[in-house]
Structure 1
Amino acid sequence: MRRLLLCTLIGAIGAAPATGNEGKPPFNAIPDFISGDIQQTWYDGQTDDLLTAGLGADGLASATPPAFDDALNPPPAELRRLAIYNNYRALVDTAPGGGYGTFFGPTVGVDGNGLIAGEEFLALMTVAGHTVPVTAMVQVPDSFDPRRPCMVTAPSSGSRGVYGAIGTAGEWGLKKGCAVVYTDKGTGTGAHNLVTNSTQRIDGTLTTTDDESVLFRASLDDAARADFNSQWPDRFAYKHAHSGVNPEADWGTHVLQSIEFGFYVLNEKYGRELGNGERLMTIKPRNTLVIASSVSNGGGASVRAAEQDDRGLIDGVAVSEPNINPQVDDSFTIRQGNGPVISGHSRSLLDYTTALAVYQGCANQAPAIRDVAPFNSVFNPPAIGENICDSLASKGLVSGITTEERATDALRILNEDFGIQLEQNLLAPVHFGLSVAQGISMTYANAYGQAGVEDRVCSLSLAATDGTGAVVPLAPSQEAALFSASNGIPPSAGVNVVNDNALGQPTHLAMSASASTGQQDYGLDALLCLRSLVQGEDVATGNPLEGADSVLADAIDQGIEAIRASGDLQGKPAVFVTGRADAILPINHTSRPYLALNQRVEGDSSGLRYYEILNAHHLDVLNGLPGVAERYVPLHHYYFQALDLVYEHLTEGRSLPPSQVVRTVPRGDITTALSETNVPDIQDQPPESDLIVFADNQLNIPD
């Protein structure tokens, strides 16, 4: 293993030029995919810093966000500070007692208050074949040691901007003294106001100038934009949904490019200067430890990068809850304990997410979860749930006479027909109430189909709405903060999904009534349209799609195939940690089948280990809420363990523990602080009853 003796050998080779050029020029040069200028800023670690933007651990934990001095014209530094605050808190539970400051957080394992001095480099890059810009960023802490160089990838989670992994891979890497390389993966805010022509520069400030470099601008000329605005005023185009490309197909490439950008930056800082303005590339893949990492979509992007890495850039992989869509392989099955054998695994994100968007609103009223799921009645008014059940029944999509019977059938469809774990049922209602599946369905249908904002797929658009659900202009102060506040998928930061075909007038999707039912049923017509595009047929009638709908469905199908993962990690040591109760990325379609596919593809050469964490789910930030805190532990803690395990494996030769179920113990009371008893370590030698085993073409997961 070429990294086995890294700690002892790297000092001898790190400062010396390589004897070969490894297929690269011997002199440091800006990669040709970098577009425009590179912004470079040093942070002193006292008034401002790389990890917390000067807020420190206490500031990140504060419920009061940092304010702008001028709400309509915030400068880049203030936008960055709020972006780091929001992105950190979106993924990490900072509430007292949940592990922040004890098991994770800026001050854990280091001296001081968590502020990290260093330099930050920000640039736009492009991918061959299209011109939509992708943001890349490199953070180099002052503690970086060029004699023992290390690098961690941090592609953003979800559809977040370039700071989207600051609290996950960013925190771990910076505290370890590694350079951290980020990318927004072609997603990020990128919000284009089609009325004012306003959009964001790389630093988050707004501009209306057409010839200026920006994160995203819809591909409409002035005449087309004016025509669109006359019909659909006050709408926004969003980068992930409306760029006209399928960014996910290039997520692996984005991560690999961010690593190349990282090597350029490191050699500009530490490469051997020749005195003529040129520098030798002395920090190279062969003497630098590189771990591909991040969570959720970012984790999936790093996995794809490892699969595509044909230059030896990546040494190991450590990801949490990766959004990975494995190639469908019918030759294996999945079984948990003595439960049913699952053969219908590996459904695509858009497949199971549109199913959740259609059925979960009704399933929320099933007796099994109605009164026990946290915040169900708050986020999902029973009257709306009843309407959704009635509408589904009228279309023959659920059976039963009463709402309870129909809701129970909807829940059965999700659990049995779509392979969604029973453990996920309690958290699915809060996600539906937050419009997670609905927003993802709209965004990814557009992205996979490479649609533009003008296509208004399934008559859905994006805009601010008022208390009645009607479309209104977004407040200027909200638009000024979009770079810092938006997660890249509406509803977010004041921009909502709008049902343009709602009864009466275009209406906020969650408040809309469907034309076919006459009921306020969360715009079920639009959600069924999205589901039909995945199915390739009208889900209510079974009839084939025709015309433009058929063409779009084919494009979406091709877009999904373009993002499928091969399962071939090329023998790289890798660790996945995933919560069994993940209600956003169901494990029977992500981590579990990827592990089995990897075993089929790599067999005994596989270096992948999978740790399934009981009583853990996708969004740790919810753990700060009553009803959730009592039941769940932070998956984030195990993500950091995954990084530690891979790092120690690569630097010290420590064996990776076998794949296993980790049996955590919920706190039971939100006032009880999380302790080591609640979050036992991943075991080097777990009992046989906890081992996850692939044998006889079946992945066996202990209960």
Structure 2
Amino acid sequence: MTIRALLAVPAGLVVALSLNGCKQEDIPGAAFNHKPGFLTGTISQQHYDGVTDDLLTAGLGASGLASAVPPAFADSLNPTPIELRRMAIYNNYRALVDTAPGGGYGTWFGPQVGAEGEGLIAGDEYLAFIDSGDELAPVTVMVQVPDSFDPDQPCMVTAPSSGSRGVYGAIGTAGEWGLKKGCAVVYTDKGTGTGSYNLETGTAQRLDGTLTASGDEPVQYRVRLDDAGRDAFNAAYPDRMAFKHAHSGANPEADWGLNVLQSIEVGFYVLNELHGQETGNGQRVVTIKPNNTLVIASSVSNGGGASVRAAEQDEKGLIDGVAVSEPNVNPLVDAGFTIRQGNGAVISDHSRSLLDYTTALAVYQGCANRAPAIRDLAPFNAILNDVTVNENICTALAAKGLVTGATLDEQATDALRILNDDFGVQPEQNLVAPSHFGASVAQSIAMTYANAYGGFAVTDRLCGLSLAATDGSGLVTPLGAAQEAALFSASNGIPPTAGVNQVYDDASGGATNLKQAVSNSSGLADFGLDALLCLRSLAAGTDAVSGEVLTGTAAAQAQAIADGIEGIRASGDLQGKPAVFVTGRADAILPINHTSRPYVGLNQRVEGGDSGLRYYEVLNAHHLDAFNAFPGFNERYVPLHHYYIQALDLMWSHLKDGVALPPSQVVRTVPRGAGAPALTATNLPPVLAEPEESDRIQFVDNQVRIPD
């Protein structure tokens, strides 16, 4: 059965796609369409009419996505696949895009911009699993083909998920832009995703997000434990959850580039099943090919990093150009170049790994939150952070000799100095970082990535940490049935999320929510600092307190993590492909001195004059635009998403019409200011084709030079 024939199949029916019929030699010179061998199981197909439901908004439309009232489940314990999809799209869109009035939604970006009505887009959607080499942790892939797709001018956009999100994680970024252009959009959860596993019940998520306790069905992730092993773990640590990114035992990031390339191949397969030349016997001749299809590798954050890695690894010529925002790239360390902003200090200690700087933020940011220079200015600092816990962190760090100062103010100031001076965190990030600490961003990344890089299992409980629901006192409790049923649509794949928290099993007094945990070494409620110092030690390879080289089990764990990090380093070789990076200078999750800036330098060292990379550093912009909906953020920061859209537009014009990409530059945005009036063109100046010389980012004498 061809995909075209599937359009007549009743909605929601999952069908197996197979190719039968004549042999390729029956048509001289023809290449027949074949299902990629790495696809496993069935492919789910659904056509959306663009009226009652659609590809981009799940039928909610622009106003529904902006509504503070989420779509509901008719039965909270048994949501349907359609309900889960709708909620997943709602949550993932709002997690990355500011939909609040005045912030640009509906004016500068959004489903309704440049579209009719509410921006619903009709078309076909295909979902399947990719064989990752581990049947218990497959990779999810999705292809969306809008009805507006033109087979005579084919185009494709990659949309790997941001963060650890599921396959709909880039729906509001690369997904929206590509669908509006009439392009096929190919998505992948890149081996992370929301796949959860309840160790108590053996419940896991199917491809469509519904739950099953059957051990025989294909699921997004299942723990590798027999019944006896699971019973033993549950007896010691009841009610725990495992998550795919953290606990699959793999290092999924090492294959992010491969997963994006695979998603492109699936995209070509689907397009040729839909539009390839018919032979009359069920076969299709391949007519949509890489050499006649415009393919842009895109997405944001982790998804952006995945597309960059795909471009580096593209040996088949699948990708024509790259346009990404705030990419999570870990460039190979090259001491042969430096970075300098304006007349500031020369930065030679760049290109630290994600786990390196994130564990530093997890350890020191809580204390830095109360530094006099930022504590009263940082948005949400007083709301998301407990003042006593912050002070306890300072006291515990000082007792260990990790910060200096006779007073809490001095200790907090020293903690902030350590992050800025010793770890290359830009001062522009200082006001954003406290809110992220309060939301457990660094803490969650540190735990998940340490486990993933080292290939550890849930039973290893690295640094005494596990995952579970907790009550108001911080004690472990079973995850509510309704919460678990909604995880596919509500979770971001990296706890704490959707009711699942980080638990410090080795806390004083027993297993406690990390946020409320008392450390044995300090006797203080210090956000489980002992566990965070353990993660920091494993990232550094030396004891975070004594500075001594690790030994025994800790040394073996640190080495496994170090090996995993080497496996995810970016080469800087984009093979001459045109590429655009946009990054906010105030990014407090992926510090620019370890991501975009050094990638530019590494790329120049590798490709030199053949480089097609352009880098646009946006002032007054940070990593999580969704925070801009709130007071304090809305006054200070502009949407980086707007410049991501511009990056895609620039790449489109370059590839379609040969328009030169503007040179690398600093984009000088203007904050909205007091009262946060609606954004105007004054706030959002464009990337300029001919920027002032003083605004150009250049690579001179082995130095990445960034204007102030």
Tell me the TM-score normalised to structure 1 length: 0.96
Distance 2:273 2:581 in 1: 33
One-letter code aligned to 1:563: I
Distance in 1, Cα, partners of 2:257 & 2:562: 20
Q: What's the offset of the Cα at 1:543?
A: 2.2
Q: Does the aligned pair in 2 maintain the 1:97–1:670 contact within 8 Å?
A: no
CA contact (8 A) 1:629 1:669 kept: no
* Counterpart mapping for 1:346-425 below 5 A: 346-425=351-430
Deviations 1:146-169 (A, max 9, x none): 000000000000000000000000
Contact 2:197 2:241 in 1 (8 A): yes
In the other structure, the counterpart of 1:665 is: 670
Q: Look up the match of 2:120.
A: 115
Q: Is the 8 A contact 2:634 2:676 kept in 1?
A: no
Which among 244, 250, 253 is matched to residue 239 of structure 1? 244
Where 2:636 maps in the other structure, the secondary structure is coil
1:4 corresponds to: none
Letter in 1 for 2:120: L
Partner of 1:301: 306
Q: Aligned partners of 2:296 and 2:553: how far apart in 1?
A: 44
- SS of 2:406's equivalent in the other structure is coil
**Residue type matched to 2:602 in 1?**
L
* Aligned mate of 1:639, from 637, 644, 657: 644
Q: Given the alignment of the two structures, is residue 273 of structure 1 paired with residue 305 of structure 2, yes or no?
A: no
Please name the residue that 2:104 is paired with. 99
SS where residue 341 of structure 1 aligns? coil
How far, CA to CA, are the matches of 1:247 and 1:96 in structure 2? 38
Structure 1 residue runs of 4 or more that deviate by more than 3 Å after TM superposition: 127-131
Any idea what SS the aligned residue of 1:576 has? strand
Identify the match of residue 547 of structure 2 among 529, 536, 542: 542
**Secondary structure in structure 1 of the residue aligned to 2:277:** coil
Letter in 2 for 1:410: A
In structure 2, what is the equivalent of residue 656 of structure 1?
661
- Report the Cα offset of residue 604 of structure 1: 0.4
2:19 is aligned to: none
For 1:338-353, list aligned pairs within 5 A. Answer: 338-353=343-358
| Alignment match, 2:59 | 54
Structure 1 segment 489-568 matched on structure 2, within 5 A: 489-568=494-573
Task: Name 2:141's counterpart in structure 1.
Answer: 136
2:585 aligns with 580
1:123-149 deviation digits (Å, cap 9, x = unpaired): 000235776200000000000000000
Count of aligned residue pairs for this structure pair = 682
Question: Does the Cα contact within 8 Å between 1:399 and 1:405 map onto a contact in 2?
Answer: yes
What is the root-mean-square deviation in Å for CA atoms of aligned residues? 1.2
Q: Deviations over 1:648-694 (max 9, x none)?
A: 00000000000000000000034410011100000000000000000
CA distance in 2, matches of 1:312, 1:395: 54
**2:104 matches 1:88:** no
Shift of 1:112: 2.6
Distance 1:130 1:590, change over 3 A: farther
- For residues 687 and 537 of structure 1, the distance between their equivalents in structure 2, rounded to whole angstroms, comes to 46
Equivalent residue letter for 2:487: L
- State the Cα deviation string for residues 404-457 of structure 1 (Å, max 9, x = none): 000000000000000000000000000000000000000000000000000000
Letter matched to residue 266 of structure 1: L
Q: Distance in 2 between matches of 1:480 and 1:634?
A: 33
Find the counterpart in structure 1 of residue 21 from structure 2: none
Q: Which residue, 668, 677, 684 being the options, matches 1:679?
A: 684
Q: Which residue of 1 aligns with 2:431?
A: 426
CA distance in 2, matches of 1:627, 1:307: 39
Picking from 124, 130, 138, the partner of 1:125 is 130
Residues 599-610 of structure 1 mapped to structure 2, 5 A cutoff: 599-610=604-615
Residues 229/25 of structure 1: CA separation in 2 closer, same or farther (3 Å cut): farther
Task: Label 1:373 to 1:35 Cα distance change in 2 as closer, same or farther (>3 A).
Answer: same
Matched, 1:252 2:254: no
Q: How many Å separate the matches in 2 of 1:98 and 1:629?
A: 7
Displacement after TM superposition at 1:538 (Å) = 1.0
SS at match of 1:72: coil
Residue from 596, 616, 619 that aligns with 1:614: 619
Q: What's the secondary structure of 1:195's corresponding residue? A: coil
- Equivalence for 1:10: none
Cα distance in 2 for residues equivalent to 1:567 and 1:642? 19
Corresponding residue of 1:168: 173
Question: 1:6 matched to which residue of 2?
Answer: none
Change (3 A) 1:25 1:587: farther
What do residues 298-325 of structure 1 show as CA deviations (whole Å, max 9, x unaligned)? 0000000000001000000000000000
- Is the counterpart of residue 571 in structure 1 residue 571 in structure 2? no
Shift of 1:111: 2.1
1:484 aligns with 2:486: no
- CA distance in 1: counterparts of 2:495 and 2:152, whole angstroms: 45
What amino acid is aligned across from residue 230 of structure 2 in structure 1?
R
Structure 2 match to 1:5: none
Find 1:212's aligned residue among 208, 211, 217: 217
> 1:16 corresponds to which residue?
none
Aligned: 1:282 with 2:282: no
Structure 1 residues 496 and 169: CA distance shift in structure 2, 3 A: same
AA matched with 2:48: Y
Equivalent pairs: percent with the same residue? Answer: 72
1:25 deviates by 8.4
Query: Structure 1: how far apart are the matches of 2:569 and 2:658?
Result: 32
Query: Match of 2:234, SS?
Result: helix
Q: Which runs of 5+ in 1 are unaligned?
A: 1-18
Alignment partner of 2:635: what SS? coil
CA distance in 2, matches of 1:639, 1:598: 20
Q: Which amino acid aligns with 1:197?
A: G
1:193 to 195, 198, 206: 198
Distance 1:514 1:110 in 2: 55
AA at the equivalent of 2:410:
E
Q: 1:379 to 1:25 in 2, by over 3 A?
A: farther
Q: Would you say 1:153 and 2:168 are equivalent positions?
A: no
| Cα drift, residue 537 of structure 1 | 1.5
- How far does the alpha carbon of each residue in 1:245-289 deviate from its partner, in whole angstroms, 9 at most, with x for none? 000000000000000000000000000110111101110100000
TM-score (norm 2): 0.95
**Structure 2 letter corresponding to 1:41:** Q
Whichever residue aligns with residue 138 of structure 2, its letter is: P
In 1: Cα distance, 2:211 partner to 2:653 partner:
44
Q: Which runs of 5+ in 2 are unaligned?
A: 1-23
Q: What is the aligned partner in structure 1 of residue 12 from structure 2?
A: none
Match of 2:18 in 1: none
Identify which of 330, 338, 350 aligns with 1:333.
338
Q: Residue 573 of structure 2 aligns to which amino acid in structure 1?
A: D
Q: State the alpha-carbon separation in 2 of the partners of residues 568 and 203 from structure 1.
A: 37
1:378 Cα deviation from its structure 2 partner: 1.2
**Structure 2 counterpart of 1:217, which letter?**
R
AA aligned opposite 2:208: D
Q: Find out whether 1:65 has 2:77 as its counterpart.
A: no
Amino acid at match of 1:487: N
